[in-house]
């Protein structure tokens, strides 16, 4: 009986862990038109206000906007596209990567 309970608990915890992944995800967005940091301030201003985002980095050389999601929260691709467009630029590609935010920042 004890063994059965332990198996049930393990199965339950595994199920819960799968339903609410608790890791930080880095999102890489390739953006066209980002040639001037003064003009790209809107990207920072908009994403900083998003409840699912804890960190934003703009890389003009690699034409990337890097986003770090908060634990247990996620930003949708639609939100990313809308925020980039509201800032005056054109999103080209959105991808979720396994690298940490700092690793992605350092290239």
Partner 1 sequence: MQIVAVPSGAIAFVSQLTLIKTLKILLITILLAATVVTAPAHPVAFDGAYQLMIGTVGSVQTVEFYRSYSARAAVGLHSMRFDGDEDEYFAGIQHNWLLKRWNLPSAQANVYAGLGAGLAGEVGNGVSPAGIGFFRADYETRRIYTAIDAKWVESADVSRGVFSASAGIAPYEAEFDQLNTWLILQVEHVTGMEDKLDIIPKVRFFKGPYFLELGSTLRGKLVVNFMIHF
Smallest gap from Cβ 67 to partner 1, in A, equals: 14
Q: Which of 27, 52, 51, 29 is nearest to 40 (CA)?
A: 29
Of 89, 94, 101, 104, which lies in the binding site for partner 1, with binding defined by CB under 8 A? 89
Of 9-17, 19-27, 51-59, 67-75, which segment contacts partner 1 by CB under 8 A? 51-59
Sheet containing 26-32, strands listed edge to edge, beginning at the edge strand earlier in sequence? 53-59, 64-69, 26-32, 90-97
CB 99 within 8 A of CB 73: no
DSSP secondary structure letters along 33-67: S---TTTTHHHHHHHHT-TTEEEEEEETTTTEEEE
Residue 7 or 90 having the CB closest to partner 1:
90
Between 17 and 60, whose beta carbon lies closer to partner 1?
60
For partner 1, which residue of 58, 75, 80, 94 counts as binding (CB under 8 A)? 58
- Residues at the interface with partner 1 (CB under 8 A): 31-43, 45-46, 57-61, 63, 85-90
């Amino acid at each position: 009986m004890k063994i059965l309970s332990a198996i049930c608990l393990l199965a339950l915890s595994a199920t819960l862990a799968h339903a609410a992944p608790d890791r930080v995800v880095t999102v890489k967005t390739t953006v066209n038109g980002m040639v001037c940091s003064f003009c790209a301030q809107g990207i920072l201003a908009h994403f900083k206000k998003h409840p699912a985002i804890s960190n934003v980095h703009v890389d003009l050389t690699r034409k990337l906007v890097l986003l770090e999601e908060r634990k247990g929260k996620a930003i949708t691709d639609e939100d990313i596209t809308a925020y980039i467009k509201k800032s005056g630029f054109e999103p080209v590609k959105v991808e979720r990567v396994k690298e940490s935010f700092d690793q992605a920042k350092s290239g």
